Structures are given as C-alpha cells and as structure tokens.
A and B are shown apart, each in its own frame.
Chain A
Amino acid sequence: MAIPSILVEEKTTEYTVEDVVCPFCGCCCDDLIVTVRDSRIVDVRNACALGASKFLHMNEGRLLKPKIGRFDTAKEVSVDEAIETVANLLKDSSYPLFYGWACTSCESILLGLDLADLLGGAIDNTSIICHGPTVLAGQELGLIAATLGQVKNRADLIVYWGCNPLEAHPRHLARYSVSARGRFIDGRRDRKVVVVDVRRTATARMADLFVEVKPGYDYELLSALKMLVKDLDLEVDEVGGVPVSEIEKLADMMVEARFGALFFGTGLTMSRGRDKNVEAAIELVRCLNFKTKFVLIPMRGHFNVTGANEVFTWRTGYPLSVDFSQGYPRYLPGETTAVDILRRGECDLFFVVASDPISHLPRRILEHLGNIPVVALDPKITPTVYLSDVAIPVAYTGIEVEGTAYRMDTVPLRLKKIVEPPQGILSDVEILGMILEKLRG
C-alpha cells in the first residue's frame, strides 16, 4: 500500500495517515489519524483510549523470533525451521483443531479454512465465547439487522441490553447511536435511550430509562415484553425483578418509536440461556416490526470477529465450529465446537491464530493441551505463546499489514498498513501460505 502524505524533514521522517480503521473493537472507527515518526507510531488522534493504546503500546511484549519448545525450554529458531516443524506436526495429526481468527484479516481466515479443509481438521473462531449465541439464534429465526447508519440517521429509540458501551465500545454512542446526527435525527435530544442491565453501569447513568433486571432473567423479561407488544396480558406482578408497570413503560416506548434499535452484548449472550436469550430478543423485534420499525445489532467485541463469522459462512456454509473430518464441512454446536472438542480431548493438535485461549477459556477445558502439540501465531508473547510447542511471530493486522475486516454491523472495511513490521516478521497470511505450500508440496 502507498503511504500517503509523507512529510520528509531533515533527518527525521514523519508522516501521518488519515482515515485509519481502528483494529481494536467491533466499532472499527475509520477516522483515526496516526502519526509516525522514525518508523514509530507517536500519536493517534480521534481514537478512544482503548484503540489508541493498541497503536501506542503495540511493541511492548512482542514476540520477535519464532520459538520451539514449551515454557522455559523454548529455543529461538528461524522462520523456515519453525514452519517445517509445524508442517510436520500437522502431517502427523489426524484431527487438528484450528482456533482464533478474531484479530486478523479475512485473507488470513480464508487460509485457515484452506488448512482445515486440506487436513480434515476442525476450525473454530472466538465468537463461541462472545457472540456465537447470536449467530446460533440467527440460524433459528434470522437476525433483523441494519447497518449502524440506519440507526444514526433514523433511530429515535436506542436500547442497550446487557452491554456497557461507554466502557467497552467507547465511541459507539457518539459515532453511531445516542448522540450521532443523521439526516432525520439531530443527536441526543431527538432520541430516547434505554439501558437494560444487571447493574447501573456508566451507560445506564446517561439513559432516559434504566431497567435493572435480576442476573439471569433476561429471557423472562424479553418474554414479558413480547407478551405486551402482542397486546397480551401478564398475570404476574414482576418479572426478573422488574415491576410490570416498568415493563409496560418500556414496551410502550418500543411500540411508539418510529425506528428503534436494540443493541445487545455479552450480558445477554453469555448469561443463563445464551442463544435462547438472543432468540427471545429476535422474537421481540419480530413482533415490534408488525407495529413499527425495529432492528437489533450485536455489540461485537474484537475488530474482525464478525469477519470470522462471515468468511466461515461463505466458504463452508457455517459461521463457526466447522469440522472437515468427513471431507466436507459439517457443523453441530456441542459436537464441532472448539470448547467441546477440547473438553472431550478429541483433537491431536491445537493451532491458535490471533487469539489467547489460555487466558480466556476455562481451565478445565484446557487440560487436554498438556497432552497434544500446540502451535501459536501471534504478534506478542501471550500465555498461549508461552505454553505452545511452536510459536511464530506475526505482524499486527491493521497496523503493519492491510486486510479486510467486518464491523459489528457487517460493513466491510479495509485495514491499513501504517508502519513496517519489525525486521524479519511476516504477516500471518504469509506464514499460513508457507505452511500450506509445505503441506501441498
């Protein structure tokens, strides 16, 4: 990629890249201005603290050399040697599991799917531990979605359910929802904001209505709302700790909205009931569409976890948890899901790309990793890299390599290359390509 507007000064080289897409969260804000001096990123404007810190601190704790060997026995090796070792491990395996794919480009995910297809392994992405339930629910009923611009231009009611964007997606409110200005809506004063959560979060404090639901009672509350929207009576006095009068108030607000948007987070997808909670939310929005216009949009976490679902779907038909052991894509939650495969100790190799499962999967599930080879591709030293038998450093997607990512509302964006990766470090696309070549060889 050409690096625009290069300002050459005496001795120091400084340039800025504009309209950079932020490779941090699912908001994929695309208005960042990044300044680079002497090949180092020195300033990031427009980003939130979370996004800026990824750019500014990316070189801390980096993995700079491929290694072979676990923990302290690790030895530095060349890229070629590491790739040779990985290819041999893969050749010997009869059911490798590929996992990760949320923090990399679609190009890289496609190569991962190539590998799994070629070897007859299983492949899964990290959405299983965040919004996997959303896609599972989508398979039952269908998602009723819109891009964020529909919300920005039209929505006069915003509902945040089980998410706290002020802390997790800091720019979501200003760019896309609560205070965003569009063609028909002039910012915050034209909108009502509702937050449904188990505690009064920062986001809840700026809402017009905060509904505090008992932890684990989202399904009940959504069911009650569905009843009210369908003009049916509730026989109980409270649901999930919320008095019926308050539920009625929320139902009225929803029905009276001209364009309502329900954003939901892991508070809904990862609490008691998981995908069924999302199904209940979809059912509610279906009913609302008979009376007004309503959409629902998941608050996806990592910047390209949505892309992982998209790429998996177009290549295999299934958004996550795909198994190729029979020679074609198969999918069944609970059978082909990475956590279940690990729990039953069924894979004989664990290949991690752009993720740190050791830190975020339950310990009980990870016990099996003591018995099988683990391979990791990562830009930095993570607990997974530390535990792995082979680890290969890769460049940061969206900072050091370009590629495509999908925003939480499935809008595709091109990530930019802003600086060169450290000497000798390749992109995961290049590394996966080399492994594939060795295997096809």
Chain B
Amino acid sequence: MKEALLIRNGIVYDPMNGVEGEVMDIAVEGGVIVEDVDEREAKVIDASGMLIMPGGVDIHSHIAGSKSNIGRLLRPEDHRRSYEPRTAVTRSGVGHTVPSTKTTGYRYARMGYTTVFEAASPPLKQKHTWEELNDIPIIDKAALTVMGNNWFIMDFISQDRIEDAAIYAAWLLKSTKGYGIKIVNPGGVEAWGWGGNVYDLDDQVPYFGITPREIVEGLCRVNSILNLPHTIHVHTNRLGMPNNCWTALRTVHTIRKSFGGGRPLIHITHCQFSGYAGSTWTTLRSGAEYIAKYVNSIDHVTLDIGQVVFTDTTTMTGDGPLEFRLFQSLAGKWANADVEVETGAGVVPVKYSRRSYVGTIQWAVGLELALLIDDPWRVCLTTDHPNGGPFTAYPRVISWLMSSKARGKVMEKANRRALKYTVLPSIDREYTFTDVAIVTRAAPARLLGLKSKGHLGVGADADIAIYDIDPRKIDPAVDYRMVRRALRRAAYTIKGGRIVVVKGEVVEDIPGRSIWVDVAVPGDRIEEVIREVKPRFEEFYTVKLSNYPVPESMLIGSSPIKVNPSI
C-alpha cells in the first residue's frame, strides 16, 4: 500500500540540501520523500508556522543490550520517579535514565528522533542487543560492535596481519549484524581482565605485545580496507580522568598519516569525557579549547559532545576500569560485567551537581566543544545517553547551544570557581536552527554514512519532525524556553511515511528497521581466516563458533547495507 502524505507550508531546515528556513511543501509516498503527490489522494498536514527538520539521528546512545539492562536492573528507584502508563496504542514502561525498551522508542519519537545507534555491543552478547532493539518501537536502529579489546583482532594486528584483521572484523560485523567498529579504551579493558588498565597510548597491553596506539592505528586501517560507511568510533584511553585531553588528541594525531583528504578517519565519541586538562580532580580544567583548536586545524576527525546535564543519572560503559574508579570515589552501587575475549562493562549511578566543581567543568566542556569547533558538520549532539544525562535532555542542551542567555542562567547557579577555569562565559556564539539541524540530524547521518537519512531530498526516507514553533517569529536566543518546549514534544513525527506522533503523543506503534552492514568479503577469504581461528575460538570462548552469529531471522525489519571492501 502506498500511503501518500503532503506536508504543506512548513518552514523547512534541511542543511544537507542547502535549505535554510524556506517555506515549502513536502510530499511523501511509499515511505520516502517524492517530488509530488496527488493532493486529492494524499493525507494533508497543515504545517504553516511550524518548523520542519529531518527526523533526528542519534549517533551514540546506550539504549539496548546487556549493560543497558544491568542499568535497568540496578535502578528501581530511578524507575519509580518516571513511568508511562499504557495507552490505547502504547505499552507501559518506566525509567528516567534507563527507560524500558518500549518507552525508549516512544520518547525518542516524541522528540522527533527516528534513528538511533546503540553505542557499544559486545559480539558475544549481540543477540541480547538485537532482542532489545527489536522491542524498541518506531525508530530505526543499529549497533556498533566493540572490537578494541578483541583478542583475535589484537592478535592479528600485533602479527601485522591487517588484512586478516579486516576479514575477521568483517565477519564479526556480518555475523552479529553490527554497523561499525567501536573501540572502547583500547587495551585497557583487556587489562581490566586482570584488574588493571592502560594509561597511555604506548602502554603495553598485558600478554598481547600490543599498545593502544597500535590497536587504534590497526583498526583505522581495517576500517579503510573494509570501506565501512562510518569511521572508527573511539572512546579514548584515560576517559573520565584529569588531563586526558592530550590522550584524546594524541589518539587523533597518531592516525593522521593515513589521511589523504576526503572522508574523516576517526570519530571521538562523547568527547566531553575526554576533554579535561589539569593534572588532578582539584585542579581540573577544561581542555575543550585545546581540542577545538586542533580539530579546527585538521580534517580527519569528527566527534560527538557527550554533554553533561545536571541530573541524577546512570553511567554505563564498556570501559570496566573506568566504572570501578567511579565506584571507588562514590562507594554506591557498582555493577561489572566482563565479556570473555572481547570487552567488559560497568554501571554506576552518578549525580551531576551544578554546585560541584567537577560537575560544572564537565558541563562547560561539552558546550565549549560544540561552540568552539567552527564546522558544525563535524560535531554531533549527544549526552552519551545515559552517561551525561538521559536523551530526553536534548532539548535543554539545544537551548544552551542556541542561547547564551540560557547558558548564563545555568552559570548563575553553577560553581563559580569552576567557571573561572573554563572559557564558556566568554563565548557568545549561538547556534542557528540550521546549526541545530546539522548537529542533531544531518551531521550524524552523514558521519554514519546513512544516505537516506538526515535530509529531506527526493528519495530520502520519509522520517520527518515537525515542531510547533515558528523560527521566523521567535528569537531562540531570547525565547529559548519556547524552543525547548517545542522540541520536547514534536507536533508531528513521521517515520517511514507514517504519522507516529501527533502533539507529542504516540498515535501509532510501528516497528522500526534494523540496520547493519554486510561487507562483501570474498567467501573463500572469510572461510580461510575463520578456519584458522576456529580452534582457538573454541578454546577461548565458551560457545561454539556456530552458535556465535546472530541469525538474520532474529532481526525485525532487517535492512542490510551492502559494502564492497578493498580485499
């Protein structure tokens, strides 16, 4: 059935197609954007005086899988303060910082988001990730596969067999239905298997004869060989520690030689958590200026900010030693979940307080990154949900980006001493609606290589967000509250041509699609590598190789993207 839809007279921001606030009609048929539809047969939405953007794309969010579920298990007190009763079309759910599956989908859709990438999934537990992603309605989903501490990858790289590493990575992606290469504290999580960590790019990973630098460089080459749509997605070493901005910059710097122009090579994720200068917690400084200066001078890196918002939240990451360190300082709840051969994970609830020195620095770093980096196409808005705060805080973050008045309001109540060591008070840049459309849709879609997302050109997926606010009539720098309110509850969210949200309420509960990358490595090359790996695989893992892959039949709405590698 081809359902036609005509959205009339909206004020459209579609930066990928150079549209900046033009009043125009958008036609939808068969789930995609088309040139025109027959008005008499189409359902018409009158969007006069309303803001229209492509559906939001979240490049990094922990919404599903083993550690999200550990987070849910750990926080019954979090669920009690935020619940959503069942309606005629939706299921009930709970959770302020770690919402249950159905609620996650509904809340994203209500904000006009239609595509979300689960940030880190260990291949061994990727069936779990997909079972949860299947249960998240409406939005399209994909999962990044963690590889930065994978024994087979590390072994291949340390033996300088990059092509075999690439073939193994391709097999991992294909067999677990992953989307891209995620690197979490390279080498450090393996060291956490012994209760240790690595603290520098050139530290040795115990027993593996390899350093974090070699892992990042190796996987960067793997990524290029495989022609993956997204770059390597890196959570740097020393994340969340003072003085780590230099580690992040050296990580970016080390792969510059493989850059020959064209597409970027590395994505530094939740960069705020890697953006600290100052050698101890008491002398912590913002390192955002250094990072921004470097990023502005080169082309091969992109990042998402990982903004902190002042709230009680739940941190969760594959970086096991980081969470243990957090637990050491907070002494509250701490969950750990090592995954054999591949990675680890940890979960610790935290509270970011504006009165706290460290909390204020963290809050400022994220905003400074977004405001000091000139090119919005290389910045994505995230809170590293739920690490910096739940994704439902995006409208708040956007209001800070669009209005120095809004930032000033927060700074009035923030820790004064901390603000002295940030440059945020002196920044007067304010995001335009175009900038916002870039960092929340167009840039993430482009960085992820999603050709049919993040824009409203003909042929794009009909994922459209309509907000009840007239950008011609309001000044976001002043009326930031109105912007915030409008972005919280989309007037309409259209997903794949279906109207799923009206006036901030879900009106139809449809399944989203499951996106993954199918790298067409020649079958005999995969077979060769896997045959070699198999005996050691079954010695190290506790599952048989044949039981390791995620069958495609497990995915609801499986949408593979074919990729041709240079092998």
Contact = CB atoms under 8 A, between A and B. Distances in A.
Q: In their complex, do chains A and B touch, with some C-beta pair under 8 Å?
A: yes
A406 to B, nearest CB: 7
Given A145-B338, A315-B101, A315-B135, A138 B207 contact: no
A325 to B, nearest CB: 11
Contacts of A141: 333-334
Nearest to A294: B195
A interface residue count range (under 10 / 10 to 19 / 20 to 34 / 35 or more): 35 or more
A149 B340 contact: yes
A82 B115 CA distance: 42
A329 B100 contact: yes
A414 B338 CA distance: 21
A147 B86 contact: no
A89 interface: no
A193 interface: no
A293 interface: yes
Nearest to A415: B547
Interface in B28-76: 64, 66, 68-70, 72-76
A413 interface: yes
B259 interface: no
Contacts of B75: 317
Contacts of A310: 69, 128
Interface in A1-42: 18-19, 21, 30-31
Given A146-B344, A183-B540, A184-B207, 8 more contacts: A18-B546, A141-B333, A176-B542, A315-B135, A317-B98, A329-B79, A410-B66, A413-B547
A410 B128 contact: yes
Contacts of B98: 317
B336 A30 contact: no
A258 B195 CA distance: 9
Contacts of B278: none
Contacts of A31: 544
B539 A181 contact: yes
Interface string A120-151: 00000000000000010011111111111110
A293 B127 contact: no
Interface centre among A150, A259, A286, A311 (most CB of B within 10 A): A150
Given A141-B334, A316-B94, A413-B547, A146 B132 contact: no
Contact of B131 (A18, A175, A309, A404): A404
A138 B74 CA distance: 6
B76 A146 contact: no
A324 B92 contact: yes
Residue among B85, B100, B151, B327 with the most chain A CB within 10 A? B100
Contacts of B471: none
B390 to A, nearest CB: 14
Interface string A300-315: 0000000001110111
Contacts of B337: 143, 145-147, 410
Interface residues of B, number: 63
Interface of A: 18-19, 21, 30-31, 106, 110, 114, 117-118, 135, 138-150, 152-154, 175-176, 181-184, 258-259, 286, 289-290, 292-293, 295, 309-311, 313-319, 324, 326-329, 331, 404, 406, 410-414
Contacts of B348: 142
Contacts of A319: 73
A392 B472 CA distance: 63
A153 B341 contact: yes
Nearest to A319: B73
17 contacts: A117-B91, A117-B92, A142-B333, A144-B334, A145-B335, A149-B341, A259-B194, A289-B195, A292-B195, A310-B128, A317-B79, A317-B95, A328-B83, A328-B86, A411-B543, A412-B125, A413-B127
A139 B83 contact: no
Contacts of A259: 193-195
B543 A145 contact: no
Nearest to B538: A31
Contacts of B72: 313-314, 317
B339 interface: yes
A202 B333 CA distance: 36
Nearest to B540: A183
Contacts of A315: 91, 93, 100-102, 135
Contact of B334 (A30, A114, A183, A286): A286
Nearest to A175: B542
A316 B544 contact: no
B73 A139 contact: yes
B75, B94, B341, B547 — which one has the most chain A CB atoms within 10 A of its CB?
A: B547
Nearest 7 Cβ contacts at the A-B interface = A149-B340, A142-B335, A293-B195, A146-B338, A327-B85, A412-B127, A317-B94
A426 to B, nearest CB: 19
A147 B547 contact: no
A110 to B, nearest CB: 7
Contact of B338 (A150, A183, A318): A150
B508 to A, nearest CB: 15
B281 interface: no
A289 B543 CA distance: 27
A30 B547 contact: yes
Choose among A114, A411, A413 the residue with the greatest number of B CB atoms under 10 Å from its CB.
A411
